[in-house]
Each structure stands twice: as C-alpha cells, then as structure tokens.
Chain A
Amino acid sequence: MHDVVLLTVVVITALTFDFTNGFHDTANAMATSIATGALKPKAAVALSAVLNLVGAFLSIKVAATIAGGIVDSTVITLPIVFAALLGAIAWNIATWSFGLPSSSSHALIGGVIGATFVAAGASAIHGSSVVAKVIVPAVLAPIIAGIVSALATRLTYQLARPDEHSESRRYFRLGQLASASLVSLAHGTNDAQKTMGVVTLALIADHRLQPGGDPPFWVILACAVAIAAGTYLGGWRVVRTMGHRITHIDAPQGFTAQTAAAAVLLSASQGGLPLSTTHITSGSVVGSGLGRKDAHIQWRMVGSMAIAWVLTLPAAAVVAAGIGWIVDGGGTVQVVSVGVVSMVLLAAVWWWSRRHPVTANNVNDWSDPAGAIVDDAHPMLTERAS
C-alpha cells in the first residue's frame, strides 16, 4: 500500500515538473510572436500548447533518460527521483518569479545530481558526463544560435529592406507563425520525453515495468497533457523578458530568431547534441539584436540570464540534496510530508507573484529604458514613448 502511495506521489511530482516545464518554456516558442503582434497572447499559447501536445506523441525515445550517464542509475530510488524533481521545480518557480528564462532540463539534471550525492556519495556522479552533457552544451547553445540568428537577421534586412517597405512586416509576421510552430513542435518532442523518462524510471524502480520497457500509454498521455496545460497557462513573466527585455524585436527579427532557433534545435536533435531549447532561443533573440544595425541590446538582462544559467545546476542540486537528506531511507510518510510542505511553499511563491501580476493582458506593456523603438505592433510602447 505504501509503495503505491509513494509511486503516486512521485508520478504527481513528475507531472508537476512537466507542467512547470511547459509554462516556463512558453516563451521559447512564442515570445517573439507575441512581442511583434504576429499572434494575440492567448492565441499564441493555445497554438503552442496544441503543438507541444502533438510533439509529445511524435517520438518516444525514453531509453535516453535525462539522467542517463550522469549518475549511477543503480542507486536511484523513488525518494531520490522525488527529491530531484522537487529541486528542479523549485528552480523553475524561482526563475519564473523573476522572469528569467532558464533550462528546465539542466534544473532536472542538477536535482538528480544533488539527490544522488546525498544518497550514494560523489562516486555515483559521473563528472565528465556532467561537463559533456551540461556545461559544454550550455556554453555552445547560445553561441551557435546567436551566430546563426545574427547572420540571418543581417542578410534578411539587406534583402527584404523592411525599413523601406513597412508592409513587408505583415509577411514576416505570417512567417513567424510557421517558425514559432516549428519550435513548439520540437519542444514538445524533446521536453515531454524527459518527464516520460522520469516516470518510466520510477515505474522500473518500483518493479512495475521491465528495465528497457516502453512507457505505458497513460504515461505518454499524462506527460503530453501536463506540458500542454503548462504551456497554455503561459509563463508571462518569461515571455515579457524574451519578447521585450533583451532587445526590441521587430517582425523580421522575430522571424529570423525563431527560424534560427528551429534550425539549431532540430539539427542538434538529429546530431544527438544535448542543447537546451531555452539557451538556443535566448541566444537567437540576442543574435537577432546583434544582426540588426540600429538595435539596442539590454546587456544587463543578458548578464542576469547568464548568471541564472550558471546557478541552475548547483541551485537545483542544493535544494534536491536538502530534500534528499530528509526523505532518503525514510518512508512514504516523509515523502508525503515534504510534498505537502512543498505545495504550500509553491502556493506562497505564486501568491507573492500576484502582487505584480503579468498576464496575457499586460505582457506587452513594457518600455525599453534606453528609449523604445516603436511601431504599429506595440501600441502600449507607443503610448509610453509619447
């Protein structure tokens, strides 16, 4: 009976992580489309949610779980999985409340490392895999995406001359729908897999599934629905940051940033290079600013994002280690108690965030401190500038 309760708590926690992954990463696909007015905010998150749902069903590569190769998988137990997930959720919520884009995958890896460290010591962590799968990709992803995006933006402005033909922005907004949809689809294909992998791992650890077995349909369905629901809720704070607080995004920039992100994301997936969607899309947005001659980039915000990325793994690891210390070796009672306390804390953070709510109605309400460049897609910015 206790086993069933423990497994149920772990599955619910995994789906909660999936949900936070969805709303935290809404910005990756849709921030630029919302910022340029290519899509209304609610329509953008609805489209992204549907494509994440579809993407989650397109590929079932759970054999390569998120923790594969990073820790000794033989020491993983249900309480460790639980602690790892809570560490990742805590980091996702913390960065969301500050409107900072950060990698949910790296948070999950950090959680796994922290919880495993407490349970089995440093020898159970494969340091070289951490460097190869987390640190090196975290550095490379924004650089590659930034270069591709900057070059694409520069050439697009030279060829289409949108500053001379303002009507061209209408076509670029249409193009944004396609490129943003591609990123959403790729996101669903990649990120829902991680949670499917975690739930599958939990089922194997509880001897309800054979090692190497495919996930049951209910796992695929639940993970797909959770990430889609999170996406539909919309992490508006992060959307505002990606859409307005890095650089002012014009429709052609939005198109090139998303096209570059989709190209890097899909080619990295095909090549087996574990690059984070968040790092790729953030790098693309910065690149689109670098590629446009008169664009202004908020380097202070870029610096804040970089600091958040550096802190992701250790912060999630520390939280997961603390939780792991409480629940490791304990029973269902400890896990359930920690779960209840965590829910209360998450509710408190959500309540605190309501003091300055960012919603679909005010997500584009942001003025560039350096003096916004305004156009028809930004009536609110126009009002503030005037």
Chain B
Amino acid sequence: MAGRAGVDQAAEYLDIAVLRNVFIVSLVAGVGLSILFAIGVRSMIRADHGEAVTANRAVVGICLVLMTGVVGLGLWAVLAK
C-alpha cells in the first residue's frame, strides 16, 4: 500500500512514461551515435594504416550516413513538434 501511494505521489509531479521515453531515447541516441563514431574512427585509422582500405572506408561511409540520418531525424522530430 505504501509503495502504491509513493508511486501515485511521484506520478503527481512527473509523467513516468515521458521520463522513461526520454531516458531510453537519450540512451539509444547518445550511446548509439558515440558507438557509430568510434567505429568510424577506428575504421578510418585502419584505412590510414593501409589495412583493408576499401572495406574500412565503406564502414566509415556507413557510419557517417547513419549518424547524419539519426541527427537529422532528431532535429526534425523536435522542430516539427
């Protein structure tokens, strides 16, 4: 009972569903973009060192396209609201 009351009181001050969504989207976008960039950087350095140049450059390109898409989608979602 006390736990239920606590949840109800918290819900009065905060939309838990919104908070959960913001946290998940932030986590996916923030961590995801960083991972994509890190993979891209690693591949770029490998290509710079002459390791599987074409494949590594393709990975860099894919990462760049994905990142641009995510950022563009994010901006569109915020500005179109």
Contact = CB atoms under 8 A, between A and B. Distances in A.
Given A151-B31, A260-B30, A266 B75 contact: yes
A80 to B, nearest CB: 26
B22 A167 contact: no
Nearest to B21: A271
Contacts of B26: 144-145, 148, 260, 263-264, 267-268
The contact size tier of chain A is: 35 or more
A341 to B, nearest CB: 38
Contacts of A175: 37, 41
A144 B31 CA distance: 12
Most buried by A among B18, B35, B40: B35
Interface residues of B, number: 34
A256 B18 CA distance: 24
A128 B45 contact: no
Given A148-B31, A260-B30, A267 B25 contact: yes
A384 interface: no
Contact of B12 (A128, A155, A260, A266): A128
A252 B78 CA distance: 26
A8 interface: no
A132 B19 CA distance: 12
Interface string A15-59: 000000000000000000000000000000000000000000011
Contacts of B81: 269-270
A159 B29 contact: no
Interface of A is mostly: helix
B74 interface: yes
A96 B15 CA distance: 33
A380 B25 CA distance: 39
A148 B40 CA distance: 20
B19 A140 contact: yes
Given A148-B26, A159-B39, A260-B26, A272 B34 contact: no
A263 B25 contact: yes
B78 A269 contact: yes
Contacts of A267: 21-22, 25-26, 29, 74
Given A152-B30, A160-B42, A168-B41, A266 B14 contact: no
A270 B41 contact: no
A156 B38 contact: yes
Given A140-B19, A165-B45, A255 B29 contact: no
Contact of A167 (B12, B48, B79): B48
Contacts of A255: 34, 37
A276 interface: no
A253 to B, nearest CB: 10
Most buried by A among B14, B30, B44, B45: B30
A163 B48 CA distance: 17
A132 B39 contact: no
A355 B7 CA distance: 52
Contacts of B44: 168, 171
A131 B77 CA distance: 27
Given A182-B71, A264-B26, A256 B14 contact: no
Given A159-B39, A271-B18, A272-B18, A168 B45 contact: yes
Given A159-B38, A259-B30, 12 more contacts: A132-B13, A149-B30, A151-B27, A155-B35, A156-B34, A156-B35, A159-B35, A159-B42, A168-B44, A255-B37, A263-B29, A269-B78
9 contacts: A144-B26, A153-B34, A156-B34, A156-B37, A167-B48, A175-B41, A263-B26, A263-B30, A273-B15
